Amino acid sequence: MNKAIIARKLGMTQVFSPEGKVIPVTVVEAGPCPVVQIKTLERDGYTAIKLGFSEVAEKYVNKPDLGQFKKAGVKPQKYLKEFRTDAEGVEVGSVITVETFAEGDKVDVSGLTRGRGYTGVIQRWNAHRLMSTHGVGPVHREVGSMGANSSPSRVFKQKHMPGQYGHEKVTVQNLEIVKVDVARNALLIKGAIPGPKGSVVTITSTVK
């Protein structure tokens, strides 16, 4: 079975390798994640496991999910994620912890990036400012030329424009697990991962 777990991003720090090199790492609180459901090829048409994360009171869970939790024999969870993988060695009601992973494992981390709202082209697309000289303006941070006015007499699709920036799903692939802290349910992952502090991410075995 491919490894998978749900985690919460805690922040970044640095550790030192045995050779004395500084390694920037992201600390995540990974699991424990109870197995809520197992999907099979015969019954559902594909294989997957559904994991929960972060216990909550029953009043915060809708009735369909609550029935699923009771059927699995696990406490209500705030987050539910499905991972397309086989369920070899996993049973409904069992718990997946950070011990599933080991130092040196390569993983893919997916999460929602920080939302920045409605932004201009400079922040959103790293566009240049207009020249700060007489005759230019009064706005110097606008989008600039939209193209010729006679032909094609329209703005091409995919033109970099102002708009919603951030709050989109991003996956960073092939990251290395530097340390597994079983006592704190923590994983130290080399480099940066998507999302702000406190956001929920998914960690899976890398596809590369």
Lowest mean pLDDT among 18-27, 106-115, 136-145: 136-145
pLDDT of 150 reads 86
DSSP code, position 195: S
Q: Are residues 200 and 134 in the same domain?
A: no
The residue range of the domain holding 140 is: 116-144+156-165
- Asked if the model's pLDDT at residue 1 lies above 80, the reply is no
pLDDT of 98 reads 93
Indicate the burial class of 189 (C-beta count within 10 angstroms; 0-12, 13-18, 19 or more). Answer: buried
| Residue percentage of the chain with pLDDT more than 70 | 100
Mean pLDDT of the 11-28 span = 94
pLDDT in tens, 47-100: 999 999 999 999 999 999 999 999 999 999 999 999 998 878 788 889 999 999
pLDDT in tens, 160-206: 999 999 999 999 999 999 999 999 999 999 999 999 999 999 999 99
What gap in Å lies between CA 25 and CA 49, rounded to an integer? 28
Q: Are residues 11 and 56 in the same domain?
A: yes
Residue 149 in any domain: the answer is no
Q: What is the CATH number of the domain that holds 37?
A: 2.40.30.10
Q: Are residues 39 and 100 in the same domain?
A: yes
pLDDT in tens, 113-132: 999 999 999 999 999 999 98
> What is the pTM (predicted TM-score) of this model?
0.86
- On whether the CB atoms of residues 74 and 34 are closer than 8 A, the answer is yes
Q: Are residues 71 and 106 in the same domain?
A: yes
Domains identified in the chain, total number: 2
- Asked if the model's pLDDT at residue 140 lies above 70, the reply is yes
Mean pLDDT of the 4-22 span = 94
pLDDT in tens, 145-157: 888 888 888 999 9
Q: Are residues 108 and 121 in the same domain?
A: no
Sheet of 95-96, strands arranged across = 77-83, 48-55, 33-39, 95-96
Q: Are residues 125 and 173 in the same domain?
A: no
pLDDT of 122 reads 95
**Which among 29, 48, 22, 16 is positioned nearest to 184, based on CA atoms?**
29
